[in-house]
Structure 1
Amino acid sequence: MAETDYPPSYYAASANPAPARPAFAGEAAPEVCVVGAGFTGLSAGIDLAAKGHEVMILEAAKVGWGASGRNGGQIVNGLNAGLDTIERRYGAETARFVASLVREGGEIIRERIAKYAIDCDLRDGNLFAALTDRHMRMLAEKQALWRRYGLDDFEMLDAAGIRKHVATDFYAGGMLDPTGGHMHPLNLALGEAKAFESEGGVIHEESRVERIEALDGAPVLRLASGVVRPRILVLAGNAYLGPVAPALDTRVMPFSTQIIATEPLGARGQALLPTGVCVEDVRYVLDYYRLSADGRLLFGGGTVYGGADPADIRAKILPNLEKVFPDLRGVRIDHAWSGNCAISFSRVPQMGRLGPNTYFAAGYSGHGVVGSHLFGRIIAAAVDGDAGRFDTFAAVPWIPFPGGQRFRVPYSMLGSWWYGLRDRLGL
């Protein structure tokens, strides 16, 4: 398999047809160049192209090759950092600002699906599952907090109530967000790429940027096959930018998460998740799962800091699936894959400028499906002349990882072990 081929995931196996997009060669000077054809880059690109800007997207592999085409496919409203954490750390005004837009990412996704007729198996409903009474108190506090900021769609569920959505005795209860949902993420990315091109945008796949020069002025992008000199540069590679943008490497850390897909379950699957919602529990090291359009259980979890793939994904994830659904012991697993996300130490996404004409967004910390669509839109608005929301987010202080580049992985592993122990002990 070539390095630029899609990994052998369920999503790649069930992807909609997509055209070949030629690699960049030669020289070009577009008004806007976006590095990365994932959700952030596509979101920014669609808005800018629709407003008449000349936009080129350079993708090192293929559209949606990274986290955008490998994730759990869940529309989970909010950022990783809760509104209480944001309020405590950055003040009530910043918390009110974040609360005003935490659902916008999901709204953008639905807007794009409707406007451009994107076929990606969208379904509504996101369920937060609690394993203990302490988890239930946490969810009740979250419901009260969101209500205080005018967000009042959450429904608390006791043990009997959650069983109407998930046929397991594993949970003490939960909380339903009807404005959440799930979809086929790679098909969403492919549909958004087609939408971007319909607005006049251009995508070059297999066009890896090797280095970027002159960030303090007009940026210059060097590729093996040519040079791009845009007026505006948007860096949207998240965990996959690597050494191309070393200034961002101190802000975020890659981590991998894994997903397995069962054989089609038919009526068994419908019985397990009768209302078709997606589920994630509220532990620090969490499980997340949903049914695919063809009736497979897609079950994810696990965290490997630094972005390495485990040697045996099935062995890592399958025991978690069997704890939640004991009746599925012995089920056939047809697909297993891994992919990198990027986490910030504060769990708040990073947005800003590396120079007067270079914008970036990264570090969605596990909430990238909604966060990337939102931040892509905010960057597009800033490029188009409305930088109000961009400047507000860019002004939020960022916190470096303790121990710097050398020790951020072991530090994070230690923290994960500690919180995982608390989860196991029910603390």
Structure 2
Amino acid sequence: MAHTAYPQSYYAASANSVPARPELNGDVETDVCIIGAGYTGLSTAIALLENGFKVSIVEAAKVGFGASGRNGGQIVNSYSRDIDVIERSCAPKQAQLLGDMAFEGGRIIRERIAKYNIQCDLKDGGVFAANTSKHMKHLESQKKLWERYGHTQLELMDAKRIQEVVGTDIYAGGMLDMSGGHIHPLNLALGEAAAAESLGGVIYEQSPAIRIDRGANPVVHTPNGRIKAKFIVVAGNAYLGNLVPELSAKSMPCGTQVITTEPLSAELAKSLLPQDYCVEDCNYLLDYYRLTGDNRLIFGGGVVYGARDPANIEAIIRPKMLKAFPQLKDVKIDYAWTGNFLLTLSRLPQVGRLGDNIYYSQGCSGHGVTYTHLAGKVLAEALRGQAERFDAFADLPHYPFPGGRLFQVPFSALGAWYYTLRDKLGI
């Protein structure tokens, strides 16, 4: 079988040492078989292993190969659709549970980093940058909303104040969340994989799940092996393919593009982001950026519906970077890559159970770094018989994209064009 390597990204080039992991060959029995060694799968595995379960993970490529090892590396609270949207569509108890969980993922990440001594360049502080006065009003409402759920590490910033933390004059203001922050995402995944293995978990790489036999004793098949389990957790997200057709019908892979500069001088780096916070703007198709541990600027944005790889990523993203930081016009771009995330029509995550023993979480809709860590804990709780928080997610309504898979891309692109036009017009 062909060996799938990491994409040529900055993260892969700067990753911590990676041990050789076996392919699955032959038959294995375990308590829980997890499909996918990204954040969702790894977080679930750690939570289960800490509670005495025997866990095996099958991964089609390598640990963190998908979105977990390619994303912007930002620790951002809440969900892709915020708590106010949930409050309008859910019963009060369900909304309260989901609101209470909206800030837990970041805490789980920090707890894991500390407990398992994960080296992933953790830095505190995240900025939501307002492009317009309308965005500022949204951030004012968001601050009140989050504070209502006990999240108080927030500061509203006017146009003058935001220039103290972001070295550009393009923003009308913003909001600083000191419980936000950023990490080297692939090194976080690799550290969590090592943590799972230290607890007795087994990870099989280059072992794609090609079939699931459902029933009382479900079996996951790979090209050269089988895992018989009491429970299966499906955690493939945008890289799951059509392994579980009823999940792919309600979601769509999308691509986002990222570039990384050459190392910047300490003086130049500090002029861009003096406090070393990460930043995302408030547009529908948002831009996001931060400094790495070795003083490069990582800048991402854009969405390709259907997860096609653009021919020239730098041509798409570099103009966005120069709009914020024209002083980087002569700086070389060392890396450019794309990574896929899974979009749902509601832009809220999809969590549930198929039959009695196949559990899943998917569809972070571009907001996955913190949510996936929460999801792993919630899935593990459900497998231990504590399903209240799992049910709060599972009871969210979800719908297939209009027109089925054939029209997912054009309808989503049309919607994105509409919201992008609204952003540009400031309405």
Task: Give the structure-2-normalised TM-score.
Answer: 0.98
Match of 2:29 in 1: 29
Give the Cα separation in 1 of the matches to 2:382 and 2:211: 24
1:213 aligns with 2:213: yes
Contact 1:217–1:355 (CA under 8 A) maintained in structure 2: no
Shift of 1:95: 2.3
Give the Cα separation in 1 of the matches to 2:206 and 2:24: 8
Give the Cα separation in 2 of the matches to 1:292 and 1:353: 38
Match of 2:269 in 1: 269
Match of 2:43 in 1: 43
Match of 2:74 in 1: 74
**SS of 2:210 mapped into structure 1:** strand
Structure 2 residue ranges without an equivalent (≥5):
none
Match of 1:180 in 2: 180
1:160-206 Cα offsets, whole Å, 9 max, x none, are 10001001011010000000000000000000000000001000000
Pairwise CA RMSD of aligned residues? 1.0
Match of 1:313 in 2: 313
1:76-115 Cα offsets, whole Å, 9 max, x none, are 0000111111111223332221111111100110000000
Match of 2:234 in 1: 235
Aligned length: 425
Contact 2:154–2:175 (CA under 8 A) maintained in structure 1: yes
AA aligned opposite 1:280: E
**SS of 2:96 mapped into structure 1:** helix
Spell out the pairing of 1:14-25 with structure 2 (5 A cutoff).
14-25=14-25
**SS of 1:209 mapped into structure 2:** coil
Match of 1:136 in 2: 136
**SS of 1:255 mapped into structure 2:** strand
1:107 aligns with 2:107: yes
Contact 2:278–2:290 (CA under 8 A) maintained in structure 1: yes
Give the Cα separation in 2 of the matches to 1:407 and 1:182: 35
Match of 1:11 in 2: 11
Provide runs of 4+ in structure 1 moved above 6 Å.
Answer: none
AA aligned opposite 1:223: T
Spell out the pairing of 1:24-423 with structure 2 (5 A cutoff).
24-214=24-214, 216-266=215-265, 267-423=267-423
Shift of 1:51: 1.3
**SS of 1:95 mapped into structure 2:** helix
Task: Give the structure-1-normalised TM-score.
Answer: 0.98
AA aligned opposite 1:257: T
Give the Cα separation in 1 of the matches to 2:147 and 2:104: 17
Give the Cα separation in 2 of the matches to 1:155 and 1:6: 38
1:286-340 Cα offsets, whole Å, 9 max, x none, are 1000000000000000001111111100001000000010111121000000010
AA aligned opposite 1:423: D
Structure 1 residue ranges without an equivalent (≥5):
none
Contact 1:211–1:244 (CA under 8 A) maintained in structure 2: yes
AA aligned opposite 1:311: A
**SS of 2:242 mapped into structure 1:** helix
AA aligned opposite 1:206: Q
AA aligned opposite 2:37: A
Contact 1:11–1:70 (CA under 8 A) maintained in structure 2: yes
Shift of 1:414: 0.1
1:219-238 Cα offsets, whole Å, 9 max, x none, are 22222102211111000000
Shift of 1:3: 5.8
AA aligned opposite 1:314: E
Contact 2:3–2:206 (CA under 8 A) maintained in structure 1: no
| Identity fraction in percent | 55
**SS of 2:401 mapped into structure 1:** coil
